[in-house]
């Protein structure tokens, strides 16, 4: 039960992080000059790489997977589904799309105009996947 609650908290934190970026950070950056937005995003991308992010980002699918193995029964299926959605919709999208775009912005190979809309679209997908994972964990908890 404790691991399931930790799993819920991790997924909630990750969903909130991605949601916040799409709903406030990116619109806020789009409201300033592109050069300022690029510099601010570069700073954000450097500072976000910290242990707290890694605990939430990597911990969410791992915790759901472990919770699934420990839960058994129908609850296990919900936790496994949460792990799969989190892995595909958050982890794979992040490492395959958002991080390469961050690196391109950081290297000056992508303009804010080319970056912002595309990055936000993929980030919103991460938010939706993380919210779906959160719901799946919740259903898993209800089936314990």
Per-residue confidence at 39, pLDDT binned at 50, 70, 90? very high
Helices (H), 72-111: 73-86, 93, 99-106
Alpha-carbon distance of 130 to 137, in angstroms, equals 10
Domain residue extents for the chain:
2-142
Alpha-carbon distance of 132 to 57, in angstroms, equals 15
Residues with Cβ within 8 Å of 81's Cβ and at least 6 positions away in sequence, in order, are 136
- In this predicted structure, what is the pLDDT of residue 79? 98
Per-residue confidence at 35, pLDDT binned at 50, 70, 90? very high
Alpha-carbon distance of 69 to 90, in angstroms, equals 21
The pTM for the full model equals 0.94
Q: What is the pLDDT of residues 93-140, one digit of tens each?
A: 999 999 999 999 999 999 999 999 999 999 999 999 999 999 999 999
- In this predicted structure, what is the pLDDT of residue 116? 98
Alpha-carbon distance of 10 to 8, in angstroms, equals 6
Structure tokens that stand for 50 in this block: 């910290």
Alpha-carbon distance of 4 to 68, in angstroms, equals 9
- In this predicted structure, what is the pLDDT of residue 24? 98
- In this predicted structure, what is the pLDDT of residue 74? 96
């Amino acid at each position: 039960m404790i691991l399931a609650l930790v799993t819920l908290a991790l997924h909630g934190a990750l969903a909130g992080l991605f949601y916040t970026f799409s709903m406030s950070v990116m619109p806020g950056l789009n409201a300033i000059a592109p050069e300022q937005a690029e510099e601010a995003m570069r700073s954000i991308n450097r500072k976000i790489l910290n242990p707290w992010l890694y605990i939430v980002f990597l911990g969410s699918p791992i915790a759901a997977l472990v919770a699934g193995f420990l839960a058994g029964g129908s609850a296990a299926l919900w936790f496994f589904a949460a792990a799969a959605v989190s892995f595909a919709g958050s982890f794979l999208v992040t490492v395959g799309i958002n991080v390469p775009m961050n690196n391109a912005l950081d290297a000056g190979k992508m303009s804010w105009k080319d970056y912002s809309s595309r990055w936000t679209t993929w980030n919103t997908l991460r938010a939706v996947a993380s919210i779906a994972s959160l719901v799946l964990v919740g259903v898993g908890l209800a089936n314990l």
